[in-house]
Each structure stands twice: as structure tokens, then as C-alpha cells.
Amino acid sequence: MKKLIVFDLDGTLAESKACLDAEMATLLSGLLAIVKVAVISGGNWPQFEKQVLSNLPQGELLKSLSLLPTCGTKFYQYEADWTKLYAEDFTAGEKEKIIGSLQRVSDDSGFKVERVWGEVIEDRGSQITFSALGQQAPIEEKKKWDADFAKRKKMKERLDRLIPEFSVRLGGTTSIDVTKPGIDKAYGIRKLRDTLGIGIDEMIFVGDALFPGGNDYPAKEAGALSIQVANPHESKRVIETIVACLGAGGNQRAEHCEEIPQ
């Protein structure tokens, strides 16, 4: 039986930068009532507060929820309030090198855009994130810019040569995330194992970027049973299936968990 269900956020539980919709909030609440849940995303803590917590009911259920911003480089748990357990922040020199490299690759890429909405390069403390159209771009515009990931894959190839001492991953719909080496969603999965005392083989990870180079892929590499989804709609169906497996009937329904789409 699985004891922890881990989700990516943007593109998995919600559209990029959007809040959980009412159906997703209801499904997650039902899931939290029967199993521990974690969310790992490239977004920073304020984004988690806006996208996830603003639409979930407050109270005891939240003790079953772990939140890991910036690809697992930060870890929050709930008691009477949310507490940060750790943060793997960059030094000033590391930030300067990463931001300079992102700017250089962006300028040289040829992928010019006519308009941006908000910051293109954001310092999240333990992660530096490039968003081609800006942090606040409309989802309709973001989906059109790099639907097949080809533009960002090209940029990642160059960044891997410029800053090989850091981890470069593709995330969201227009983003590139840079973290310290070895600190990615695999790191977050292992932190969940160590903090919650739950084996990686007892976890399920659900994400929309589980391909090599995607920022969800390290979770799969860490050994978590991983389910690829295309969007939040597919995630809702996955949650319904997991609830059916782990909910009423308990062990009697365990044999049907193999039917979870992968």
C-alpha cells in the first residue's frame, strides 16, 4: 500500500500560476483524509500560499500535507502554523553567475518575445528561475510559446555548458529552473523519506514533466512510482483512482492499485 502521494504543482494540480480549482481542492481534501500528500514545485513559498493553501480548508487535515517549494530546496510542514524545516540557498556569487548565464543564453537564443509580464529572471533564494514571458504572463500566451519544450531544451544545452556545476531543469510552460547540484525533486523525495519515515517504494509521484531534462524527472530517477499527466484534468482522474484504491475497502482494494494510469 502506498503511504505518500507526491504532486508537482504547475501543469499538474493547477494551470501555471493559477489557484487550485474547486474540483481539485475537493479531491485533494478527500485524498488528505486517507493518505499523506506532498507538493513539490519550482514556485517559491508565496506561490504555494496563493495557489494551494488559499483554496484548501484549514485545520487538522493540513498535518497530512508537506510542501516543498523551489524543487524541494525548501520544506514546510504544518503544526499550529506552517514551519520551514530547511532551505538550500545560493551564495551571492553563485546567484550572480547563474543570473548572468541565463541572461546571456536568453539574449543569444533568438527566441525574442514582443511582450513580457513581470520578472523574466526571478531569484527564489534556493533556486533561480527563468520565465520566457515573465512570471505573470497569461496562461494562453505561455502555452503557445514552447509547447514541445524545443526552445528550452536548446537553451538548457547551452546552460549545461556554461554552468555545469549547477542543475538545470525545464519546468512549467515557459520556465527553466537552476538549483545547486543534486538538489532537485529527487532531493525532495529523499527529504520526504527521511523526514516522514516513508520509503520511496511507498510513494507515488504525479507530474507533467517526467521526461529526461524535465524538472519532474529526478523524482522518477529517485525510484518513486511515477505517473505522467498532461494537465490538471488528468491529475483529477488519477486522484480519483488513488482514492478508490486506498479509501473504502483498504487492503481489499489494494490489488486494483495497479490500474492507476502511468
Are residues 107 and 224 located together in one domain of the fold? no
Centroid of chain to Cα 11 = 9
Are residues 242 and 221 located together in one domain of the fold? yes
pLDDT tens digits along 43-86? 889 999 999 999 999 899 999 999 999 878 889 999 989 999 98
Compute the average pLDDT of residues 223-236.
Answer: 96
What are the cell numbers at 249?
475497502
- Residue 261: the pLDDT is 53
Instruction: Identify the CA nearest to 198 among candidates 35, 88, 32.
Output: 35
Using a pLDDT cut of 90, give the percent of the chain over it: 71
Are residues 104 and 122 located together in one domain of the fold? yes
Place of cell 481489499: 252
Calpha distance 215→209 (Å, rounded)? 6
- Residue 171: the pLDDT is 80
Global pTM value:
0.79
Answer whether 213's CB lies under 8 Å from 153's CB.
Answer: yes
Are residues 37 and 76 located together in one domain of the fold? yes
Burial (CB < 10 A; 0-12, 13-18, 19+), residue 61, is: middle
Residue where a domain terminates, one of 155, 179, 203 = 179
Residue where a domain terminates, one of 179, 213, 230 = 179
C-alpha angle 104-108-110 in degrees, rounded to nearest 5: 140
- State the CATH number of the domain containing residue 71: 3.40.50.1000
Calpha distance 186→99 (Å, rounded)? 24
Range of the domain at 113: 92-179
Number of domains in the chain: 2
Are residues 82 and 187 located together in one domain of the fold? yes
pLDDT class of 248 with cuts at 50, 70, 90: low
- State the CATH number of the domain containing residue 120: 3.30.1240.20
- Residue 251: the pLDDT is 43
Are residues 101 and 82 located together in one domain of the fold? no
Place of cell 518513486: 224
What backbone torsions phi and psi does residue 12 show, to the nearest 5 degrees? Answer: -120, -60
Answer whether 36's CB lies under 8 Å from 3's CB.
Answer: yes
Are residues 82 and 99 located together in one domain of the fold? no
Are residues 165 and 35 located together in one domain of the fold? no
Residue where a domain terminates, one of 127, 152, 179 = 179
Are residues 164 and 106 located together in one domain of the fold? yes
Rg (CA), the chain: 18
Answer whether 27's CB lies under 8 Å from 13's CB.
Answer: no
Are residues 84 and 187 located together in one domain of the fold? yes
